[in-house]
Chain A
Amino acid sequence: MKRPYLEKTGRVFYLLLVLLLACGLKAASADRPVRFDLKVELLPETATLQGKGTIVWTNRTADYIPDIQFHLYWNAFKNELSTMAREARREKMISRYRVKKDEWGWIKLISLSTDSGLDLLPSASFISPDEPHNPDDQTVLRVELPEPLAPGQAITLNLEFQARVPGNGLRTGYYRDGFFIAQWFPKPGVYEEGRGWNCHEYHLNSEFYADFADYRVEITVPSRMVVGACGEEVDKRDDPATGKTTYTYVQQNIHDFAWTASPRFVKLERWFKGQEEVRPEEYRQMAALLGLEPEEIRLPDVRMILLIEKQHQKQAERHFRALRAALKYYGLWYGPYPYRTITMVDPPFRTGSGGMEYPTLFTAGTSVILEKDVLSPEQVIIHEFGHGYWYGLVANNEFEEAWLDEGINTYSTGRVSEVAYGPGRLPLRFNGLPLNWLLKTPAVYDWQLGRLVSATVAELDPIVTDSWKFYNSMSYSLNVYYRAATCLHTLERLLGEKIWARVMRTYHMRYRFRHPKTGDFIRVVNEVSGQDLTWFFQEFFYSANNFDYAIASVEIGLKPEKYRGVFDSLPTANSAWPAAPARGKPALKQEKIYQTTITLRRLGQARPGPGYSLKLRVDFEDGSSEWREWDGQGRWARFYFEKPARVKTAVLDPEAIWLVDSNFSNNSYSKTGPGARLMSATGKLVWFLQHLLLTFSGLV
């Protein structure tokens, strides 16, 4: 049963949230369990990093903790026995990670000691926490503490490390003197009270999970390099004697730190002005939708930094326009962007680091030749910026529930690009050259493409699956990105624009700077909508069931003028055939009455939950329409119509609520069919095949 949204309660809640936010990141600082103070030098000639620094880790739980577990991610690129390499081999992608002899990536702890000088390295050992265990993996290091860390107690760790940038990098890497450096330092896992360390190995199909922390990082590089990093640059020192420059970056309340350096970057800056980018009318409309005051959703100014390769410099404004749109709509819909800077990186050529997100910094990726109506690089920019919200701020565990950031963010990307740009044409390229001027491809919205491709994996894995336990990479990506996004589009259509907007904002603001799980999202959906939608998540997120309803048949026949047999005058129960509606004038004797039977079928396992149904709209040739509803629980249902007109069209789910339906092509009936469009499609196919055959015939 639906309940109206409690507007007043919502307002008070949002006001509290905004006040909390207004207190700034500083107020939350005391809650953060980690503080990093790192110094790193890049030696481009050998593609190595020399690092040292201090990590202060505080036990914020009630547990006594006997050890600390560190991610040493770059050891995934150390050899062909790492968990990531084994997974790549299983996926027949191992050649992608094979490199020349001296280009394997690795990270080595040179020293690790407590503040009191106690050497912890002797008590360190590599572990393999994930199933199936891989004793050869060296991406998780367990360090035993001399004595368990008591609740509230902090430990200061001094460390020195050396690392080689992977030449075969995934999300990180280098090519010649262009570097993108991510997951580069020993990083503690997340300690979860009562459950211990959550510190997974580096997997092929997984991203990351870490605690919010305060970072201060000094980066030393050759002076000819242009540098960008997470957070704000607070200092820059040139050393003419060595030809090196040291940059200092500081950022509070982020859970990762990445940086980049290349001599081919051009650094550009623009401002996002909350007052100018959003019209007062837009503030008013959005505030009304969210049940807030316009002042409560005002967007702050943000410094936008773009590091773009010189070859792409002409596309700078296209990059900024997309980032502006993302800052505006993510900010309006989910909450204001809380940091002062956002750095957008056009990643150094051939570093394998495009399209990746880090807090306050993301990488996009473009091409020297662009088409106007293909939304590239726009969609990548919107998507990767969006991860600043879904992963950056609402920091779910990407190892275990990747859909919470990838799925929600794919949904959000589609919505932002739809509002800001409209549909984008599908790219068509040959040998790097665009061909859209010659062959016109369809203009599509992100969700249209997403629901089409996601249908292929509906029965492979549930969306909520550990990232490394999916059937394969395809199932991982299509499930957590596109199927999850399609399910969210469906949920949006089920709940309506207003409730959905409030669900998303509540979830985002409530779990900012926290680590929510799928259960938390479900609780917010149920709470804000006032309905129990747990069934929706059980059906579409925790099960691998296909949702496919169809119009199986439409049978039309003339009602016989007479029925033969023996009839008496006793009254009968209501007929299954509804009588033709009475008209203003008595029916003519010759008027034909048509009896129509429409059979619907459920072809998949998935079903709507209690209180939900599928609608059937039937249009008749006399202009009248009839609606029916089916709860979809059975395998089939049959509907009967008796009208003085034939059926013209019948559409199951005509409002396209159930976007998760894997096949919309079986959801409708029309007497004439698509006519010219089908003929055109088959004509083109024949023509294309003739063309192929003709070319092939030239070979013999």
Chain B
Amino acid sequence: MNSTSRKLPNALARTLTAIATAGCLFSTAASAEPLEIGVLLPSPIADVGWSHALNEGIAAVKEKYGDDVNVSTIENIQEGPDADRIMNKMIGDGQQFLLLGSFGYMNAGLKLAQRNPDRTFLHASGYKTAENFSPFTAKYYEGAYLMGMAAAELTKTKKLGVVSAFAIPELISTINGFTLGARSVDPEVTVDVIWINSWFDPAKAQDSAKALLAGGADVLFSNAQDTPSVVTVGEEAGAYVFNLNSSMKEYAPTKYLGVVKTDWAPFFVASVDAHLAGSFEGKNEWLGMNDNVVVVEDWSSDISADMKARIDAMHEEIASGARHVYDGPLMNQEGEEVIPSGERLEDGAILGMDWHVEGVNSPLPK
């Protein structure tokens, strides 16, 4: 620089220095660039539902880090080649922290994670892990157990109905938790299940809810349905109803039993913290009440004070780990003992659950 400036007129030299300084400034700014976070969601972000809950979790990250993170969200992307292409583009765009919001993003996401060891991946509902790839799931069954207790108190027909998406372990274990909770209060209660084999068919979900009501159920559980389809049927028909992920109380102001909500904020914030600190570790994140991820709220005021106290006590016991939803004795639908008294079902058996507990009337599709 010195040798050059001697040969050039002063003015030009000054300009060059200015440019150089500006360049320096620019590069300092670059080193403190915000963390690029990419979010891929399977359905549109509505006021309620799965994608909404994930988006709320990301909002908490934004709130904590402000301008230090830059979130770009792509919603309503079907699992498959389209999702793979977008994930690749996210990597190409330099996004460092990826949140993949659906089970079917797993294999393509994992491949990208293995190819890009410096990036961090969170993946919803999956089971495969890598050093920089953590699947996460909620222990919905913990909250469903409490809902079952409330439902058992409020039902008159002693029949509860579940409209359910796909017969996968996550949903089966939630129905079983619900049934166990209900029968812990009233052993005569039974549960009917309709599998609609779709995450997303509101018309079919409503027809199923009506079929369950016609069959005598008077409490409905909307298991993994992203729209308020089942919830509105409950309100109209005068049947109590609850759902997962985010509150739909406004759709059933008088008949809302409550919500088994997922609050992903603590987990997402902790993961971003870990990524920034360089201490992120890919592992199976299975989160429940204890992690403040599964939150049960918006309880119906029709639940008696006595029952509410019992539910609160049980909530305490489950959250503290003193009690587990799948503590023995556990019987299956055929009436055979699966786990004897004093023992507890292993985590692996819950994560891969393919049987119904006693009290569920409907056979499991195999």
Does B bind A?
A: no
